[in-house]
Amino acid sequence: MYQEHFGLRELPFSITPDTGFFFSYGHYADALNTLLVALRSGEGFIKVTGEVGTGKTLLCRKLLATLDKDFVSAYLPNPMLTPYGLQTAVAEELGIPVNRQYNAHHLQKRITERILELNAGGRKVVLCLDEAQAMPIETLETLRLLTNLETEKRKLLQVVLFGQPELEEKLNRPEIRQLRQRITFAYRLEPIDREGMNAYVQHRLMVAGHQGGGSLFRPRALRQLYRASRGIPRLVNILAHKSLMAAYGRGDHEVDREHVDMAIADTEDVRPKGERGLWWLAGGLLLALLVAVGWLLWQRLGTGGPA
């Protein structure tokens, strides 16, 4: 594609969660540090929420890659499971041979034995669940019961929930208030600020192999990129990738605003905040003006005055 044209080893703005591109900046660095401190201190439940595209999955993968040999991790990317399905998935992640004839009681017993075995060897068990807002209520309750195993000092199974804001609504339901009360650490991921987005773009270009002295993106291109993406990393990646393609297609060696505008025209959900409201306001004012002019014309015609 355009890698050779811009002197890159790989595509810098892929939307796959590659931990090699993790951007340790601002609240992303804070979130990772918060998670590591909470896990090392033995907290039971930890929650990370954020809007679509703010980097929750990448943060989850980075956390798993950062944990040292003192931890055994289990990762469930899609926890939309039945209670029995959750037990089976956790057992398989912990290396437990699962006999399909096991009932829920047998699975719980095997999981407990495995966690005790790992703990006796000095290792902590961490379960990370991505897209946790999709988990059914009854499965969340099963998850809570899985974490009942503990010593006088700490939980033997620690859980990190990554989810969209809808997870907050689900956790506020009365029937799972016991789980909500066990969440001791929580973090909310927000979009990147303007200065951070510029550094984010440059960071990904450098990781991808860009050796130039400056950015491939001109300042006005970066301004437009931030305005359209609202600092949401996934949208930044999509627009930056398409902008590079547009520049490459024209034979240009820098991305300017016109390239970003071409990317915006080809991408959903990139209207800057407030712009829709302004357009509706402008449209409303124009309609009101037309109605007023029409009414005046009708009055004049109706009274025999000059048109």
Q: Is the pLDDT of residue 284 over 80?
A: no
Q: Is the pLDDT of residue 168 over 80?
A: yes
Give the DSSP per-residue string, 150-215. Answer: B-SS-BSEEEEEEE-THHHHHHTSGGGHHHHHTEEEEEEE----HHHHHHHHHHHHHHTT---SS-
The set of residues, in sequence order, having a beta carbon less than 8 Å from that of 246 and lying 6+ positions away, is: 255, 258, 259, 262, 263
- Directed axis angle between helix 233-249 and helix 257-265, to 10°? 110
Amino acid at 306: P
Q: Is the pLDDT of residue 76 over 60?
A: yes
Q: What is the CA radius of gyration of the chain?
A: 26
Band of the pLDDT at 305, cuts 50, 70, 90?
A: very low
Phi, psi of 172 (to 5 degrees): -85, 0
Using CA atoms, how far apart are residues 95 and 110, in angstroms rounded to an integer? Answer: 11
The set of residues, in sequence order, having a beta carbon less than 8 Å from that of 238 and lying 6+ positions away, is: 13, 15, 263, 267
DSSP, collapsed to helix, strand or coil, labels residue 62 as helix
Q: What per-residue confidence (pLDDT) applies to 102?
A: 84
User: For residue 31, what are its two tokens?
Assistant: 């979130």
User: For residue 25, what are its two tokens?
Assistant: 């900046």
Band of the pLDDT at 268, cuts 50, 70, 90?
A: confident
Domain 26-189 coded CATH 3.40.50.300: yes
DSSP, collapsed to helix, strand or coil, labels residue 249 as helix
Q: Is the pLDDT of residue 29 over 90?
A: yes
Q: What per-residue confidence (pLDDT) applies to 288?
A: 42
Using CA atoms, how far apart are residues 112 and 63, in angstroms rounded to an integer? Answer: 24
Q: Is the pLDDT of residue 283 over 50?
A: no
Band of the pLDDT at 297, cuts 50, 70, 90?
A: low
Band of the pLDDT at 155, cuts 50, 70, 90?
A: confident
Using CA atoms, how far apart are residues 170 and 167, in angstroms rounded to an integer? Answer: 5
Residue with tokens 């892929």: 14
Band of the pLDDT at 213, cuts 50, 70, 90?
A: low
Band of the pLDDT at 295, cuts 50, 70, 90?
A: very low
Report the CATH architecture of 192-265.
Orthogonal Bundle (1.10)
Q: Which has the higher per-residue pLDDT, 30 or 287?
A: 30
Q: Is the pLDDT of residue 101 over 90?
A: no
Q: Is the pLDDT of residue 6 over 60?
A: yes
Query: What single DSSP character describes residue 255?
Result: B
Q: Do domains 26-189 and 192-265 have the same CATH topology?
A: no
Q: Are strands 183-189 and 157-163 parallel, antiparallel or unpaired?
A: unpaired
Supply the mean pLDDT for the chain: 87
Q: Where are the domains of the chain?
A: 26-189, 192-265, 282-307
User: For residue 169, what are its two tokens?
Assistant: 């609504």
Q: Is the pLDDT of residue 301 over 90?
A: no
User: For residue 278, what are its two tokens?
Assistant: 């302004």
Q: Is the pLDDT of residue 236 over 90?
A: yes
DSSP, collapsed to helix, strand or coil, labels residue 2 as coil
CB of 239 within 8 A of CB of 228?
Answer: yes
Q: Is the pLDDT of residue 274 over 90?
A: no
